Amino acid sequence: MVEIVLEGEKERIDAFLKALRDEKPPLARLDNVQVDFSESETGLSDFKIEASSQTRSKSGSVIPPDIAICDDCLSELRSRTDRRHGYFFITCTNCGPRFTTIITLPYDRPNTTMSQFPMCADCRTEYTNPMDRRFHAQTTACAMCGPKVALLDNKGSPVNTTDPIKEAGRLLNEGNVLAIKGNGGFHLASSTLQDGPIERLRRSKERRNKPFAVMARSLESTLTFAKIRSAERNMLESYIRPIVLLQKTEPFSLSSLISPGLDSVGVMLPYTGMHWLIFESAEDPAIIMTSANAPNEPIITENESAVKNLGDIADYFLVHDREIAQRADDSVIRCLGEIPTPIRRSRGYAPAPIILSKATRTAVLALGAELNVTACMVLENKAYLTQHIGDTETVETSRFLEDATTHLAKLIGFSPERVSCDLHPKFTTTKIAERIAKERDIPISRIQHHHAHAGSLMAEHGVDDIVAIVCDGFGLGYDGEAWGGEILVCHEDEVRRAAHLEKQPLLGGDLATRYPARMVAGILRDEPSIGDWLKSNYSKLPHGEEEAAILLQQLSKGDFIWTSSCGRVLDSIAAILGICFERTYEGEPAMKLESSSRGGTDRLSVEPKMEGEVIRTTNLVRRIYDQREKIARADLAFSAHSYLARALADAAVGIAEQEDIMTVGFSGGVALNEIISMMIRDAISDAGLRFVSNVAVPPGDGGVSFGQAYLASLQ
């Protein structure tokens, strides 16, 4: 909150208030302006900014997210006559890291990781001059007084060079892998034109096929390898500077190892002075910039830890001596049509609150699910999400979740009156929630996974009634089974499962998620030729022929775990079409299936089949199986998307009419599939209903905590 005291004539004060709204700086946001007039005169004569008050408003402070380098700083960086020419940590009031530097509030320099860099006389003069762009810029610094950069070899010893950043760019050209310390953590960087360093980046198991994001030199150089639509361009150039998924150009001019099997590539533009300086000597149109972490651990923030954990992958380390108070991965966006949709909401977003259309009654802390976790706190009309935490399967990640949550709660002065988590008893997040509830003696709300996704739509769009289509890979249902293709009818915090995709066998449980051929065998268990199919594809199973034989035995016994997951149906089709037989990262088969359907048309036109509450999928899988050698792969892949979209939309429209509900929404990880999303959107709109999707939080599990918190606040 900012308090402004003005003294003068009424007209001039009104003019000031108008200017406050109309001429505010690019990053300023007015949530609420409250004006009190008084007759008393105190004789104010000049402009002054007082020190921030130590007491804070109860409604929660607004902590700024990190902001990409602004145009003014960029031109100073490049100007030979400017005193910050070539200084990597150039920032001003309009740009620079924020959240990642803040140790405690109020947001003043002594409370940030910049406190260890006392300002020089020149910086101090700018900082105290109300007419200067760096007036009260808490991160301001220059080469004289600010953070310094260094280049280390893979043992952590300094490399002798006068210009570490220039040398780093040159080393990238030579095919080296570099670990680069940024504002919110380390990146691993390499050339995008040479296969050698990318193969080395892929050495670790977790990175076998997972797409790497790239940082492009500029918008123009991006156009040499990807297509950019206008909404994507706006996101690329925004102060958030997220990674934006773009469609590759054909042929793709960068290494095919960057995002194998996908028709998209994640691209971001430089967002710090250091990035721009690297491109002064790096020659590629883009460089790989992927979060640096030990397997299944959070992004690395400390120099020593980087050398220890990355020494066998990185040849050199480009580091600086400013500590990172909070880690933050890059955010990721996909535009569905013209609608930017977050895949990962982190740097540039966190921890700015999402404003709710209705104030909530209870302060709730929600811990999310298991994968792509964020925590969320709702306080009155604001929802604060932590930065992206990751998959909470390791001690390191769950510790990060607890630290980030404690830190954010402290910053906003939050104390939970209720805690919320998933229905799944074994999730780490559930255990943390149970512990907090016990320690603080507060109630706990266990929200079903897909209900939480639906809740995220309700909270974002301020609706009390919704028919929500929620499709993803897995969430525990009320019946103890694996859900993931649900149509829910929601009224405030009440929910009813109105329809779902046909239950299919998960042959071997989690193994069926990893090896989609098991899904095919399960879905087509009544197909006489499925044994032959399995035998002809046994090389795609980790234990070959023997495993195929065991699967056939299991099929004949018929004792299965069932799932209504939409993701698993897409996976099975990816396997039938020979697109993907092993899932090495989350969503891999489905993402490759979507990529393979580019340019295809719906040549199957399978009629949506609904029996009671069940939307059939076996009919679709069987048709694709039958036609797999007769119709082009792109057409079959597209037909699968088309069937699922039409079947889900038809069912949702029918339920909405029956229940007299005007809003239909689509959430869950599958909502990031552009083909299915756009087809559902069109079908809902054509039926005269209002369609909503997630735009503030990810439709995937990164948005689950937000839905949990909102629904729990209604209880």
CA distance 463 to 535: 51
CB nearer to Zn ion: pick between 84 and 382: 84
Contact 242, 251 (CB under 8 A): no
Q: Using CB under 5 A, which of 67, 92, 530, 644 touches Zn ion?
A: 92
What is the Cα–Cα distance from 632 to 712, expressed in whole angstroms?
48
Q: Figure out which of the listed residues 63, 66, 67, 94 binds Zn ion, where binding follows CB under 5 A.
A: 94
CA distance 449 to 452: 5
Nearest residue (CB) to Zn ion, 13 versus 27: 27
Q: Which stretch binds Zn ion (CB under 5 A): 65-73, 219-227, 515-523, 645-653?
A: 65-73
Q: What token pair was written down for 506?
A: 């998960």
**Residue corresponding to tokens 């959430």:** 667
* Cross-strand bridge partners of residue 181: 186
Residue among 96 and 169 whose Cβ is closer to Zn ion:
96
By CB under 5 A, residue 70 contacts Zn ion: yes
Q: Which two tokens stand for residue 69?
A: 């380098």
User: 3-state DSSP call for residue 487?
Assistant: strand
* Contact status, residue 461 vs residue 488, Cβ threshold 8 Å: no
Rounded to a whole number of angstroms, the minimum distance from the CB of residue 86 to Zn ion is 14
**Shortest spacing between CB 110 and Zn ion, in angstroms:** 16
Report the residue count for the chain: 715
CB of 96 to Zn ion, least distance (A): 7
- First-to-last C-alpha distance (Å) of the chain: 30
Instruction: Confirm or reject binding of residue 661 to Zn ion (CB under 5 A).
Output: no
Task: Say if residue 682 is exposed, middle or buried (CB neighbours under 10 Å; 0-12, 13-18, 19+).
Answer: middle
Q: Give least dist CB 122 to Zn ion, A.
A: 5
Which range of residues in 36-44, 63-71, 108-116, 247-255 is near Zn ion by CB under 5 A? 63-71
Q: Cβ 295 to Zn ion, closest distance in Å? A: 37
**C-alpha of 287 from chain center:** 21
**CB atoms closer than 10 angstroms to residue 213:** 22
Angle among Cα 201, 207, 211 to the nearest 5 degrees reads: 95
**Min CB(100)–Zn ion separation in Å:** 16
Phi, psi of 593 (to 5 degrees): -65, -45
Q: How far is the CB of 506 from Zn ion (least distance, A)?
A: 52
Q: How far is the CB of 61 from Zn ion (least distance, A)?
A: 23
Q: Which is nearer to Zn ion, 125 or 256 (CB)?
A: 125
* Number of residues located near Zn ion, criterion CB under 5 A: 10
Which residues are CB-neighbours of 425 under 8 A, at least 6 positions away?
A: none
Closer to Zn ion at the Cβ: 186 or 271?
271
Choose one: 91-99, 327-335, 343-351, 563-571; the region binding Zn ion (CB under 5 A). 91-99
Residue 146 CB, nearest approach to Zn ion (Å): 6
Token pair 């997951």: residue: 565
What is the rounded distance in angstroms from the CA atom of residue 414 to the CA atom of residue 57? 11
Q: Which is nearer to Zn ion, 144 or 395 (CB)?
A: 144
State which residue, 123 or 696, has the beta carbon closest to Zn ion. Answer: 123
∠ at Cα 505 (502, 510), nearest 5°?
A: 120
Nearer to Zn ion, 145 or 552 (CB): 145
- Nearer to Zn ion among residue 128 and residue 224 (C-beta): 128
| Smallest separation (angstroms) from Zn ion to the CB of 273 | 9
- Which CB sits closer to Zn ion, 5 or 131? 131
Residues from 103 through 162 that contact Zn ion (CB under 5 A): 120, 123, 142, 144-145
Q: Does 73 bind Zn ion (CB under 5 A)?
A: yes
Q: Helix (H, G, I), strand (E, B), or coil: what is residue 696?
A: coil
| Footprint on this chain of Zn ion (rule: CB under 5 A) | 70, 73, 92, 94-95, 120, 123, 142, 144-145
